[in-house]
Each structure stands twice: as C-alpha cells, then as structure tokens.
A and B are shown apart, each in its own frame.
Chain A
Amino acid sequence: MAAKFLGQFLLERGVITAPQLLAAIEAQRASNPLLGELAVARGLLDDAQARRINQRQRVEDRRFGDIALEMGVLDQAQLDELLDAQKAGRRMIGQVLVDQGVIDAARLEQELALHRAGQDQARHALDRVVGRHPLGPLATSVIGLCARLFPRMLGSQCQAATVLTAQQLGMWPCTVHVRVEGAHPFDIGLACDLDAAHALACALLGLEPGACDDELALDALGEMVNVLMGYAVRDVLPDEDASYRALPPDGSVPAAVLAADPERSIAVLLGSQLGDFVLLLGRPA
C-alpha cells in the first residue's frame, strides 16, 4: 500500500465523496494560513515583505520565521504570537469533515487508526526499498527536500508514497530532468500529468488557474527541478568536489527511459494537493 493523505484515503474507501473532500480541503486551507499570510492579515508585514521572504525561501532551505527574524521585519515576540495563532487556528482535514457533518467523530477515529496503520506500513515499505537502493541516500535527502519545499514554494504538502517501476512510468506525459555532470554525476527530474504541471506552474508563479499554457507549465516544472537540483548539489553531494555542472532542463526524455535501469535509477511517487508527481533520480551510464 502506498502512503496517502487522509482525504485521499477516505475517498478511496468510499467514506467521503470527491465534492465533500474538495469542500473540506478548501475549509482546511482557510483555517491554515501560511505564516506570511497571517502576518500580513495582522498588519505585522506588508505584502512586499512577505513576498520577499517567500522568494528567499526558494533558494534558502529555511523557515519563514527564521528569515523574517534575520531580516529584522519581525521580532521574536511577534513571531511567537504568529506561531501560536497559526497553531490555534489549525484544523486537520478529519476535524473539518466532522465539523461539516460529513462523518461523525467515532467513525473518524476508526478511519484515523486504519490510516495511521497504513501509513506506517507504507513508510516502512518505502524506507526499505529506498534504503537498499544504490541511490538511497540521495533519494532520501531529496524526498525530504520536496517535503519541505513544496509547502514553502507551492503551498502544498508533499508526501512520498511509493517506489515505481519503469513499467509504471508510461502514464506521466510531462517529464523534465536536469543532468548534473561532475565527479558524482546524476539526473534529477520530475514527471507528472499535464493537469499537475499546470497546477504547479500556477502555484509557483502565482497565476490564477487557467492562466497558464502548456509551454509555461513545462517551463515551470523545469524551474522546480532546477531548484531541487541546486539544493541537492549544495546539501547532499560531497562538498570536496566543487566541479559540478548542471545542464539546462530537458523535457525530451520520457520518465520510463530515465528510470529504465533499476540499479542506476529510482522513481518515487510523490502525492501532493497539486496532483501526483514522480521524483526521478538516476546515475547516467
């Protein structure tokens, strides 16, 4: 079983319907503002300051509050107040579904227990497969990176679900990868369907849904891969070798080709509110 978000889990089990899930996600999103949104709503930061911190988060793997403190636009007391307010207002998706009368509290408890058990099982299975893969350490680091960067850059959670085989990669028409040359060369890429590519582009570029064409969606996917690559080289690869060189994003190689050799490549399905993505990592032959 692959790891999945509670909402998806409940949907697949027939406990809730898709419209109920969407309504709950919307309500949950409204109750869980990002720290920057909260700071702007409370008049502690203006829009420009919040945007600037968000921009820095694209290149710095740091929390919003830490950057705001460093920039001197928030003090520790203001940050603590914001974090407390964020925590107090936060509602989990299950609670939203109960509040909306979609399921009752007892059923939610039962489903949560099943979901937790499934999550544990899926996480162990994923850890086992990734852990014994030659690219395991790199994959583990980049999965963690995605889990941190997706919320910051795209406003969406991201969760590694399962490892895919090359045979399972035919259904991802949008694939962009970046090749990094050097002492430890590697390919890093993301694959998804066109809807997810559009959703990612709109989130990354701050566009309204529908305001993005296919070319821009692929461009944005390439920029996202570039950001992941930059972090991976800086934070994961051995730093004694400074001679890494990244080639431009390449959208011409299908995911199934990039992950064709199971010993030299790994494909990890990532679930997110924007859609499913496949993280591709490989060692060029």
Chain B
Amino acid sequence: MTARPTVLLCDDSRALRMLAAGQLEEAGFQVVGEAGNGLQAVEQYRSLQPDLVLLDLVMPECDGRQALSRILAHDPQAKVVILSSLGAQSDIEECLRMGARSYLQKPIDPEAMERVLHQVLA
C-alpha cells in the first residue's frame, strides 16, 4: 500500500484546523502535525519533514510570510501551500514569489484542496 502524503496544517483557528484535518484525511492525506502560530509551524516542519505544508498567512507570534521564509531557508524544496482569506492577492503573489507552491482560499473547498495538493505533489 502506498504511504499517504503527510501534511503539516498551520492555522491559528482550531476550528479551521479541525475542519481541514477532516477534509485532508478524507482526501487520503495524513495530517502529521498542527501548528497554531508561525513559530510552531517552523519547529514542526523541522521535526516532522512533511510532504506538504498548509500555511495560514495571518497568525500570531510569527506570521505565515515569516514562517514561509524560515521553512524555505531550512528546506528550499519544501512544498508550502498558502491558506488565504478572501482578496489577499498581493500577499499571495508575494508568497508565490518567495517560493510557496500554490494557495487555497478560505473557506476551503475540499475538491479544490485535493486538486491543488496533488498538483503540488506531482
């Protein structure tokens, strides 16, 4: 049996993490870690080395942009998908230029998420 792709889920909303974790598991991914702020996201990435990171942009401690930068500094091949709120286009563009692989808009559409994550993994 093929191992399920592993995902680190980073968002300061526990409710969103719970909803997204269910959707990810449903779509065949394995949520190996969750982070509620940018610092935790970086630490967890280093220790878990997941196949994918779903990273919210607006988080306390160290925001998604800073976390993205630190994750990519640690692993330039990291596959990070940004979770953004409606209309955060300039932030998204900046993150894509920094090396994020793609983005998803909240509330998360499970079909779009599955499609995007598989594209990023391919």
Contacts and interface: CB of A to CB of B under 8 A. Distances in A.
A79 interface: no
A248 B85 contact: yes
A193 to B, nearest CB: 18
Interface stretch (B1-9, B39-47, B65-73, B101-109): B101-109
Contacts of B13: 219, 222-223, 249
B19 interface: yes
B16 A182 contact: no
A67 to B, nearest CB: 10
Nearest to A245: B87
B31 to A, nearest CB: 15
A180 B87 CA distance: 9
A51 B107 contact: no
B48 interface: no
Nearest to A244: B87
Interface string B55-98: 00010000000000000000000000000011111000000000
A230 B86 contact: yes
Nearest to B88: A245
Contacts, number: 71
B107 A227 contact: yes
B14 interface: yes
Nearest to A249: B13
Chain A's interface size range is: 20 to 34
Given A55-B110, A59-B108, A230-B107, A180 B15 contact: no
Contacts of B87: 180-182, 243-246
Given A204-B15, A223-B13, A247-B85, A55 B26 contact: yes
Interface in A189-211: 201, 204-206
Interface in B1-55: 13-16, 18-19, 22-23, 26
Given A245-B88, A246-B86, A248-B58, A226 B107 contact: yes
A239 to B, nearest CB: 13
Which of A52, A55, A182, A205 gathers the greatest number of chain B CB atoms within 10 Å? A55
A58 interface: yes
Given A204-B15, A219-B14, A56 B86 contact: no
A55 B23 contact: yes
A48 interface: yes
A216 B12 CA distance: 11
A3 interface: no
Nearest to A55: B110
Nearest to A230: B107
A220 B110 CA distance: 18
Nearest to A224: B15
A215 interface: yes
A46 to B, nearest CB: 12
4 smallest A-B Cβ distances: which pairs? A245-B87, A219-B15, A246-B86, A220-B15
30 contacts: A48-B26, A55-B23, A55-B26, A55-B110, A56-B110, A58-B19, A58-B107, A59-B108, A59-B109, A59-B110, A180-B87, A182-B87, A201-B15, A216-B14, A216-B18, A219-B14, A222-B13, A223-B13, A226-B85, A226-B107, A230-B86, A230-B106, A243-B87, A245-B85, A245-B86, A245-B88, A246-B85, A246-B86, A246-B87, A247-B85
